[in-house]
Chains A and B, each alone.
Chain A
């Protein structure tokens, strides 16, 4: 009896884990790409161990008066420019989107909004590759779910660390 229950739980766990992978891979493959400018970060103080703290310029484009009226969690409407860099248009309120407009999820803290993630993980010792990061590349779906897939430099090139030049 206990072993049967164990079997059920185990199958359940593995199904959930793989389903989560599948969801992320789907978003990565089918999501629409957009760049978000990183807020100026000081690489010396913000590089910690094997991850980098991120902030987005988008988060500063919202005034506190606009913010006060919003719920704790919601979506921003953003519009990508010719370089595919998104900028804040308005808070989403269930209306029809204009062409090219996209949704991105945010949550509110006490004094500003945050777009997750606020950190980017990389392998120990790869910090030097990411110092030139200016944008985060996101994949978004129509419901506003998003996934940070890479960091991008000022020439709009994805940063791909290579171990050869050690």
Chain B
């Protein structure tokens, strides 16, 4: 860390952590601390936050209201009136999106509403014409129709909704159109995991490498990374657990493929979030996942080889305490190292 270039004062970002740190070391007094925090986080910001929050809740409630209106008046409304109502609501949302412009949050929210309403339209369509059976077609159509809006929106929430729809589509398609055999049904986890992981990689790439002059800051929110990370980690961890627990999956190509991909993901993600894009949240999640895998591994061994519940649970308890203590010690060590690396001396 000594070979890092010296940073000038203006290159050090001022934030709450920094102010608290200075205050904690008695370098500034209470009054200065409050003044600094007031300057960094002006009170008006809370008003802005509240107004964003309320407008998001408000649009969500309106959407829910529209959905319930349809659900409870189903057979009384003539068919074309149902379509007309949904379509005109889509049109109004789009018109408002144009009016506000899609660079503003309100415009983006209108676009998001229009995207959700396309799903409502397809659900109404499916019910009126009783297209029933293949639910994957609804999600496929939905994802395809709104993809253009999603691309243009530069809005992380809309992307997450789109990804959720795509995940549902993939799951349903796997069930309803592929008809996997028992041998291959575990492939779905690898497919979902790789699909979601590719968007995580894309997000980190765009945000940190900035390949073009476009503004990628809208991808910056922590929750975006959190959701994408979990959406990739969980499906990739499941086949690893299956490989440990379920003997019926043993040796199937699907289980092996999933377990290998899962291992690769854990290792790569650890490396990236430790050395390339330091991120304590992601690292803790990986270590938690590794602990759970360790639990499963020891659990299988202990419960299979020791008779008597009392003893095996006792041994598992000891193993659990040991493993999690070790994990937490490691995490703290990593945390300290990362702080040392990232705070210029």
Contact = CB atoms under 8 A, between A and B. Distances in A.
Contacts of B133: 114, 116-119
A147 B152 contact: no
A161 B74 CA distance: 12
B98 A6 contact: yes
B76 A163 contact: yes
B87 A3 contact: no
Contacts of B146: 13
A6 B118 contact: no
Interface in B71-116: 71-72, 74-76, 83, 87, 90-91, 94, 97-98, 101-102, 111, 114
A14 B91 contact: yes
A148 B179 contact: no
Interface string A5-25: 111111011101110110010
Interface size grouping (class) on chain B: 20 to 34
B102 A119 contact: no
B129 A147 contact: yes
A161 B145 contact: no
Contacts of B26: none
Nearest to A118: B133
Given A126-B75, A147-B130, A110 B179 contact: yes
Which of A12, A18, A21 counts the most chain B CB atoms within 10 A?
A21
A104 to B, nearest CB: 14
A112 to B, nearest CB: 12
A123 B75 contact: yes
A28 to B, nearest CB: 8
Contacts of B184: none
B75 A122 contact: yes
Nearest to B128: A24
Contacts of B102: 2-3, 6
Interface of A: 2-3, 5-10, 12-14, 16-18, 20-21, 24, 28, 54, 109-110, 114, 116-124, 126, 147-149, 161, 163
Interface of B: 71-72, 74-76, 83, 87, 90-91, 94, 97-98, 101-102, 111, 114, 118, 121, 125-127, 129-134, 145-146, 148-149, 152, 179
13 contacts: A6-B102, A8-B148, A13-B145, A13-B146, A14-B87, A17-B118, A17-B121, A17-B145, A28-B129, A119-B132, A122-B74, A123-B74, A149-B130
